[in-house]
Chains A and B, each alone.
Chain A
């Protein structure tokens, strides 16, 4: 690791420690409302960071977050009466990982829209299956959670999950696994040719994402006291995670964290009074961010800095997100301008 990379790691670690300390101190002087808002923030920090860890670097657009979240929530609802709190959360994460490995083995050979649509379809299938199973086997629609830990315990658990998600993301980014995932995002075939076991890397990355989503689901389930498939498998949890990650910048570490805080505060304040306006604003924001900030808020700083130095504006597109492996387009030595334009044109119209 170069001196510069080590310095970056130190700074990131320092920021993380400061943020965790702040979040840990928050319940001391905050009202119940602020605390619940902070809890939502932390949940989305965990979800969006772990989503970006895999999906941001490999550019596989997963919509299965709500499946992992829901599996975690249902697990803790089932076992909370008989197992201690930490074990329930751990088991939730474990089952989500199992699901991710099974799902990943089945669908991770498909790219792009196929992958996105399939993960969405599977999430819905799981939701409907559980609804049907509950109806026909248990004879109920949802479950009431009787044994519920203290709100403060829940808060610190979710804080720990969020901090772990950021820490793991921070470390994985600099590891072989992280580089391999970035390589897959840049050009999967090339990564494979260079000796990356892409299949294994993808399944591991997907499972890692699922572990945090499952743990978050298991910890958050007690917040509702009554859960049913519609609440915990709500596709909206998945959408909002993707939205936060994309708006923040899925290829960056701090972008999703910042966006998670902004969105959760917006959600908690606006959603109760003006739910439709909130959702419409969300839609407009999503469209605008994809159209005008395709690399997320985090790229805003880079773009401004680049322009001030008089550099060429940062390449628009996810290609710039995969710096570790040179993207094929920029590594081609001095392609004639006209040829380059034509080839990008034909690719677009495909």
Chain B
């Protein structure tokens, strides 16, 4: 293989990996902070994609302008979901293990609800639109412009989140909550405000990822589920609660999948991801990047 082909292969892996990282960061925020394993996470990616598609094809709004809007819309949805489901669940559950198990079931319910809502409203067909499809030359390789936009925005949003958590007082509060919920309460960190906010940001990131995806791939109501599974794999690889871990693991998984599909066959992809997932959970349940 020539150097250009390698470059193209790795770059396409990174592009997919960027989306993985974005989705995984949102899920990690929910699980790492609140122990909500939101199995419906990918469904909100699908909603974000449909909102963008609808706005672009029906009202001619630029998908790039829709990306931040999809983030905001999904964040508001997140506030509502948290308020209606998880806030009450946290109140009635006797301990965190029970909360986690019940939260998982609620999330399954959300998954059924959202996925079938979409399929009822928009039908099961594949949908898409053309946006920024002209190729861009980079170092001898060619990429569709929309894929580069996708990678750039995904990376920017991921890094922005990490910086937010590292550098601001808000982020300090969130990290404190992850380390010790009791300690955080004792020093006056307001859980009742931070939890819905972080849940909302998590869903917002998923919606943003969906919005970006709709520029490059055809969408259907069932696209969300594989991304949920991938996000689960990524946060397991990167470690629950570790944002940098999620970013790195997302990019790495994208590259590994690209290599596996290139040298193996496309049907090997699910085997590969589930295999990695199970192996990591069994051997290093706290993530690859933690000692």
Question: Residues on A close to B: CB < 8 A?
Answer: 59, 61, 106-107, 110-114, 116-118, 121-122, 124-125, 128-129, 131-132, 135, 239, 242-243, 246, 275-277, 279-280, 282-287, 290-291, 294, 315-319, 329, 344-350
Contact = CB atoms under 8 A, between A and B. Distances in A.
Contacts, number: 145
B120 A276 contact: yes
B135 interface: no
Given A59-B101, A112-B100, A276-B116, A124 B229 contact: yes
A118 B94 contact: no
Contacts of A242: 105, 108
A287 B182 contact: no
Contacts of B92: 291, 294, 316-317
Given A348-B96, A349-B96, 11 more contacts: A118-B282, A121-B278, A276-B119, A280-B112, A286-B112, A287-B109, A290-B89, A291-B106, A315-B94, A349-B181, A349-B191
Given A121-B274, A277-B120, A280-B117, A286 B98 contact: no
A225 B25 CA distance: 44
B282 A287 contact: no
B100 A106 contact: no
Interface residues of B, number: 52
Interface in B75-117: 85, 88-102, 104-106, 108-117
Interface centre among B88, B106, B109, B113 (most CB of A within 10 A): B109
Given A287-B106, A316-B94, A347-B95, A128 B89 contact: no
26 contacts: A107-B282, A110-B285, A112-B97, A114-B281, A122-B274, A122-B278, A124-B270, A125-B274, A129-B271, A132-B271, A242-B108, A276-B120, A279-B115, A280-B117, A283-B114, A283-B116, A286-B105, A287-B110, A287-B113, A290-B89, A316-B92, A345-B185, A349-B184, A349-B191, A350-B96, A350-B181
A56 B117 CA distance: 30
A279 B278 CA distance: 29
